[in-house]
């Protein structure tokens, strides 16, 4: 069975790692949100792509949730001394990724080609595909005005209340060719436990993607990033509250109506299974925590079991 996993940041990367441990590289395509790509110091940074890539390469820093473990920050300190805005943490090793990416993009390669080149060099065997080779930018309308995703997320620590989210450029973007192929060829589509509004929604905003998923030929499985009314990591719960969506796995599931056959919720939310099923999807209850690599593999196996 061929799997297509849609992923955003840390939660998505964790399940992608689990899936990559049990599926051969030919049977798993990981498509990653690029809505929060941003240029820092003239360098193209793809935060979600890098989180997935570093996680699969065994490089990611589990303590911070971003960047590479054992990083140094010599260049950033110096950039700060030069008067550059350095609120976005870029380690020295991480900078090499952005320098190389930017250089290859300027040479005319697509973001997909660049990502292939980078992940291969890091020893990652499974394809990691940016959702689009075209620029799509997630913009949040907040009480501080409209902010790009990373400005809101990192610079303002998710503090400004969010009232609206849009994906600038999405309407004229195309899915990356390998994403289109995976939508056609895959037997199982997995929504990783990523933020539905800023990790998954940008992917769905690419013309044709929502339709393709609504008409997907195989099994569509979503995993809730909200457990017991809390986001495992990140601002999903706060955002749902501000957007007036129930802060629960049911609120998440409501975002995947018509897009999902099986919705995976955590044991602690077992009592909400009926509400999930009322949305027209099957509820599957399990332990969704992914603290350790074993946890990740266990959840990945559970999902494979559901698909079979």
Residues of this chain that interact with a copy of itself (CB under 8 A) are 41-43, 71-72, 74-79, 81-84, 91-93, 95-97, 99-100, 102-103, 106, 117-118, 121-122
Nearer to a copy of itself, 125 or 157 (CB): 125
Nearer to a copy of itself, 1 or 84 (CB): 84
Q: How far is the CB of 230 from a copy of itself (least distance, A)?
A: 36
Q: How far is the CB of 58 from a copy of itself (least distance, A)?
A: 14
Q: To 5 degrees, how large is the angle CA 14–CA 52–CA 250? A: 50
Nearer to a copy of itself, 103 or 143 (CB): 103
- Residue pair 142/161 in contact (Cβ under 8 Å)? The answer is yes
- Residue pair 69/61 in contact (Cβ under 8 Å)? The answer is yes
Q: How far is the CB of 149 from a copy of itself (least distance, A)?
A: 21
**C-alpha span between 31 and 217 (Å, rounded):** 18
Q: How far is the CB of 273 from a copy of itself (least distance, A)?
A: 46
- Residue pair 7/56 in contact (Cβ under 8 Å)? The answer is no
- In order, the DSSP letters of 73-140 are -HHHHHHHHTT----S---HHHHHHHHHHHHHHHTT--HHHHHHHHHHHTT--S-EEESBSS--EEEE
**C-alpha span between 79 and 90 (Å, rounded):** 10
Q: How far is the CB of 64 from a copy of itself (least distance, A)?
A: 17
Nearer to a copy of itself, 88 or 229 (CB): 88
Strand partners, 222: 191, 263
Nearer to a copy of itself, 118 or 189 (CB): 118
Nearer to a copy of itself, 71 or 266 (CB): 71
**C-alpha span between 69 and 78 (Å, rounded):** 21
Nearest by Cα to 216 from 251, 252, 249, 256: 256
Q: How far is the CB of 243 from a copy of itself (least distance, A)?
A: 35
């Amino acid at each position: 069975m061929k799997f297509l996993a849609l992923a955003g940041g840390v939660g998505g990367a964790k399940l992608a790692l689990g899936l990559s441990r049990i599926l051969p590289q030919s049977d798993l395509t990981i498509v990653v949100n690029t809505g929060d790509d941003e240029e820092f110091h003239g360098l193209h940074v793809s935060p979600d792509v890098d989180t997935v890539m570093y996680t699969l390469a065994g490089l990611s820093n589990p303590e911070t949730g971003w960047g590479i473990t054992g990083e140094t920050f010599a260049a950033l300190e110096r950039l700060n001394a030069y008067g550059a805005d350095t609120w976005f943490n870029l380690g020295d090793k991480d900078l090499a990724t952005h320098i190389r990416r930017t250089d290859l993009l300027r040479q005319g390669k697509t973001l997909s080609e660049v990502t292939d080149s980078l992940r291969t060099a890091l020893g990652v065997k499974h394809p990691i595909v940016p959702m689009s080779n075209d620029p799509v930018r997630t913009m949040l309308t907040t009480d501080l005005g409209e902010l790009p995703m990373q400005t809101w997320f990192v610079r303002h620590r998710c503090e400004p209340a969010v009232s609206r989210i849009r994906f600038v450029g999405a309407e004229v973007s195309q899915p990356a060719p390998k994403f289109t192929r995976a939508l056609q060829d895959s037997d199982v589509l997995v929504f990783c436990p990523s933020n539905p509004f800023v990790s998954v929604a940008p992917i769905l905003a690419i013309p044709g993607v929502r339709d393709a998923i609504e008409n997907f030929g195989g099994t569509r499985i979503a995993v809730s990033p909200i457990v017991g009314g809390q986001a495992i990591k990140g601002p999903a719960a706060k955002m749902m509250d501000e957007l007036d969506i129930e802060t629960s796995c049911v609120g998440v599931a409501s975002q995947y109506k018509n897009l999902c056959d099986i919705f995976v919720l955590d044991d602690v939310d077992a009592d909400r299974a009926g509400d999930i099923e009322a949305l027209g999807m099957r509820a599957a209850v399990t332990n969704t925590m992914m603290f350790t690599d074993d946890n990740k593999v266990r959840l990945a196996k559970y999902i494979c079991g559901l698909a079979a």
